[in-house]
Amino acid sequence: MRENALAALGEAYAEVALTMGQDVAPERARAKALASPMVIAVAARLDGQSKIPEHEQLLSAGAAAMNMLNALHMMGYGGFWKSPPGGPEGPLRSLMGFGRTERIVAMIHVGTAKGESRDPTRADPSGFVSECQGAEAHVL
């Protein structure tokens, strides 16, 4: 059953590549969906009538995606987050059966890690971290 779902996702990726005129051959787009044994689509259902602002609803779905990745890695699996081809409101949304108020925020590709992960290179925070002290913000 899952193989059929991945094949259907591959067809959807190929259709998006054709529909959007991307410089990706349909075969290559199809292969991207089949590169992992499991792909989890994470979507946010935005409710404009909610007390929770839409941007917070979207960020909550992103946080859920990150928590899934953290859990996968803690369990020994490999995983990475990709944006949906065509963007969160692109044709993949309807091809996957999501409604007009839903946005795909992540396509999480899951598999077995090929080896030990390397420690990530940490960026110097001084270029993007600031401290607010009253009326002035100071870069740390």
Q: What is the DSSP string of 42-105?
A: EEEE--TTSSS-HHHHHHHHHHHHHHHHHHHHHTTEEEEEEPPTT-TTSHHHHHTT--TTEEEE
Task: Write out pLDDT tens, residues 113-129.
Answer: 777 767 778 888 888 88
Q: What is the CATH number of domain 2-139?
A: 3.40.109.10
Q: Is 0.85 topped by the overall pTM?
A: no
How many whole angstroms separate alpha carbon 129 and alpha carbon 73?
A: 27
Confidence band of 87 (pLDDT split at 50, 70, 90): confident
